[in-house]
Structure formats: structure tokens, C-alpha cells
Amino acid sequence: MRILIVVNNPQEWPLEVPGVEVVPARSYLTEPAYADLERARVFNCCRSYRYQTIGYYVSLLAAARGHKPLPDIPTIQDMKSPTVVRLLSEELDELIQHSLADVRPRRFTLSIYFGKNLASRYDRLSAELFKLFEAPFVRAEFVHNDRWVLSSIGPIAAHEIPDAHHDFVVQVASQFFAGRRPSTRPRQVERYDLAILFDPKATDLSSDAKAIERFVEAAEALRIGTEVITKEDYDQVAEFDALFIRETTSVNHHTYRFARRAAAEGLVVVDDPESILKCTNKVYLAELLDQRHIPIPKTLIVHRDNIDQIVPVLGLPCILKQPDSAFSQGVVKASTAAEATSGAEALLERSDLVIAQEFLPTAFDWRIGIFDRKPLFACQYFMAPKHWQIINRHTDEDNRYGRVKTLPVELAPRRVVSTALKAANLIGDGLYGVDLKQIGHRCCVIEVNDNPTIQSGFEDAVLKDTLYTRILEVFLQRLERRRQGLPA
């Protein structure tokens, strides 16, 4: 892959980085040789990224050409937005306070060169900011009132880099380019490159290590080169053609940032950021399903002014849920009016709206796995021993989980499968796990999960390796459509 450093004027470029081409911005924008170039990577080092400047158009056209620019247009927009800068930097507040604790002036400028700073004590902060605002040369401005706050972030023009920094910048740039995702497989046999985001140390795994191995094997059988990445590899997302997230997702989480970045780069991404936004908020899901007449348990959206309506509307016992609960966390069963009130008040400390639902006791929940608007698997998740949920977090590991029974989709009740499909189709065409309860003729959707659990020996018990192949075949179909310029 050719590496292009695009600058306003190469005569003003003060650095000699081996193995890269320094290209005038106007040439990159206007000459057919660059427009027709395949498998190139563009590092935009223009003086300005302001809207409709040459620097802006370099990243815009590089994206259109499939050259995966750094920075991309979403990053440029993020850097210009004080609100986005503030929100994203809040995630790093503890690191910012620790890193700048010994700084005496009330203003501080951090120069970041490919995620590094000349002073090694700022390397971690520089690396984290680079993940959020990925651009070759970045200047972060901090101000101190009661505490340190990131006030702005923007590009450093190459001619503004101090002479004393030149050797360091060449060193880190060379290391950055040399470390771009080395492959252990023959390039000529790969049609596409897939990244699987996975954290083997997570408590609640969307997939276990064995399932990840099977995904890799299925991908490689389809000639899709695969690499398992972690949250530390955010800066490498643009190097791939597709991203498969196999971690529990959340909006205020690195998984959403990965999905958002992958989508902005034009990758095929599962699950996509819109699915994450929709599925991880139960208030949204409850309203959506109710508006589209998908059966759900009797539900009340609770705020501070209607807590007293929980019991009259739903009866007892009832279930209280924080909007972004997952893996049975943030879900409370209230057996008395006092428990309903105290439980709702506790959840409202974290969110202005929470969900309350009638309690529907069943021996198991149905889980219908759906991808690309087609059912993949059907499971019965039984309640944990002597507990009302499928996971009991208040007991030892041996009794924490209920058993799982997997059936061919064809043997699952038709009403359960059709209801699950209707619910999932309201979200999109991603990979979803729809949870339902069936009581007699009544079938209710409990929730639609993006990034559903697929673990070896459970969800794959019926289809076995075919399950992994079917999922990767959808990736391949979408990648082929992208290549043809069609909607994925």
C-alpha cells in the first residue's frame, strides 16, 4: 500500500520520512494518476482543515477514492466542535488530571505527533487523544480553572513544528508507518481484511475465545483476511475493509467509537453505530415497539413526576430497568410499593427516564438470533437456579447461569420467530438477538439486543460451523456490493 503525505507545498515540508511520498495537495486533487490510485493511504498534513479549504478537500476526496484519509472528515468536524471536544475529553478526565498534575501555568499546550509527545510522561495522554482525534500532527490546548479541561484541539502545520522536534517527529512517523498492521498471511489470497474487536478479559463475553477462532476460520475459508484487535487498536480501524464487534456495546464506550469510526471510514461494520444507539436504550425500544404495535409487556416510562403510577398501572411484582442495562445488570424486581419507589428513585439518579414493566414469570426466555433480516438460531435461556433472571449475580459461579437449549429455527414457535423478525426489522439489517417471553398464546418482545451472544457450544449447538460461515457470508456479500458501488 502506497503511503502519501499530502501537503500544501512540498518545499515547506521540513521532514524526511523514509518510505513515504510527499505530494502537493493540488496535484493530489487534480491529477488522474492519484484519482485512479488503488490501495493508497493518505496522511493529510495541510496547513488548515477549515471547511472548503484545500486541506478539507484532500480528506473529502481521499475518502471518495477509498484512500482512507487521516484525518477523515468526521474527525475534522469533531475537532472544530467545542461541544464534541468537551464531551469526548470527559472520558479522559482522570487521565488529564493525573498527567497535568505537576503543571504550574494555568494554560498548557500539548503537541502530539502520531500519538506521541516529546516528553514521555505525556505519552499515554497523547495516545488517548490521538485515538479520539486521529490526525498526524495535533495541538491540544488545556486550561485550568478548578481543574484541567481540554479547551480546543487542532492541526499543527508542518512548518510550525519546532526545529528541535524534527528528529523526534521523523522517528515516531517512521515507527508509525512501519507498524501498520503487519500481516501473517499471504496478501494475494485475501479478498478483504476484517477486524474482529474482542476483549478476552471481559467479564461478560459476547463470544468466547473458541467462537472467535471459528469466526476467523470461517472468514479465511471465504478468503477474508482476519485480525483480532482490542480497544488499543483504534488507530488501525481504517486499515480494514470491515469491522465485527464482539464486545458488549454501549454508547459511552469504546465499542461505539469504533463503530462510528468504521462507518465514517466506509467499512462494513457490525453492529453499526445506529443499531448500537437504538438497541442500548430501552426507553427508545419501548416507545418504538409500542408505536409499531409489536407486543411488549405492559410498560410505563417512569420519570420523577409519575413514580406513584408504577404500582397502579403495572401491579406487583414489577420490573424496573435502567435504559442501558445489559447482561441482567441494572434490572430490579420490586415486590412491594416501597421497593418500586426506592428502586425507581435509585435508577433516576442515573437517567431522567427509566423503564417499568409488568413481571411475566416464565421458565425460560426465547432468544432468536437474526442477521440480515433472516433468523439464524433459536435458543431457550432458562432462568438461573432459584432466580427470576437468566443470570444471578448474587450467587457463586456454578449457579450463576441458567441452562441453554438450542433448537433449529424451524422448530421454534412460528409466532415467536415472526414477532422477533418484525421487532429486529425496525432496527435495521444488523446482527440482533431478540428476547421474548411466551405465556400461552401471548408472545411479548422483552428487548432487541445488538451484538448478541454467540458462544461455542450454545448458540452454535445446532448449526455448528455453519453458523459462523453464514455470518461471514453476509460480510462478504456486503463487501462485494461496496466494491461494486452499491449500497451494502
Which residue, among 342, 299, 339, 292, has the nearest Cα to 323 in the 3D structure? 299
Output 295 or 91, whichever has higher pLDDT.
295
Residue closest to 129 by CA, chosen among 143, 150, 107: 150
Q: What is the mean pLDDT of residues 219-243?
A: 91
DSSP string spanning 69-92?
A: -BS-HHHHHHHH-HHHHHHHHHTT
Q: List the chain domain ranges.
A: 2-178, 187-271, 298-358
**pLDDT tops 70 at residue 190:** no
More confident site: 188 or 29: 29
Residue 147 CA to residue 223 CA, distance in Å, equals: 51
Strand partners, 333: 319
pLDDT exceeds 50 at position 183: no
**Mean pLDDT, range 128-138, rounded to an integer:** 90
Q: Is residue 351 predicted with pLDDT exceeding 80? A: yes
Fold of 298-358: Dna Ligase; domain 1 (3.30.1490)
Q: What is the pLDDT of residues 31-56, one digit of tens each?
A: 989 988 877 889 999 988 887 788 88
> In 10 A of CB 85, how many CB atoms?
22
The per-residue pLDDT for range 462-487, each reduced to its tens digit, is 999 999 999 999 999 999 998 888 77
pLDDT value, residue 406: 97
Percent of the chain with pLDDT over 70: 97
Instruction: Report the C-alpha gap between 15 and 169 in whole angstroms.
Output: 8
Query: Considering the chain, what is the average pLDDT of its residues?
Result: 90
Confidence of residue 186 (pLDDT cuts 50, 70, 90): very low
The CATH class for the domain spanning 187-271 reads alpha beta
pLDDT single digits (tens) 386-432 = 899 988 878 877 778 899 999 999 999 999 999 999 999 999 999 99
Looking at residue 24, its pLDDT comes to 94
Q: Is the pLDDT of residue 130 over 70?
A: yes
CB-based burial of residue 442 (10 Å sphere; 0-12 exposed, 13-18 middle, 19+ buried)?
exposed
Ranges 150-159, 391-400, 438-447, most confident = 438-447
* pLDDT over threshold 80, residue 189: no
Task: Round to whole Å and give the CA distance between 85 and 385.
Answer: 47
pTM of the model: 0.67
Give the model's pLDDT for residue 188: 40
Q: With contact defined as beta carbons under 8 Å apart, do 433 and 377 qualify?
A: no
User: Between 52 and 370, whose confidence is greater?
Assistant: 370
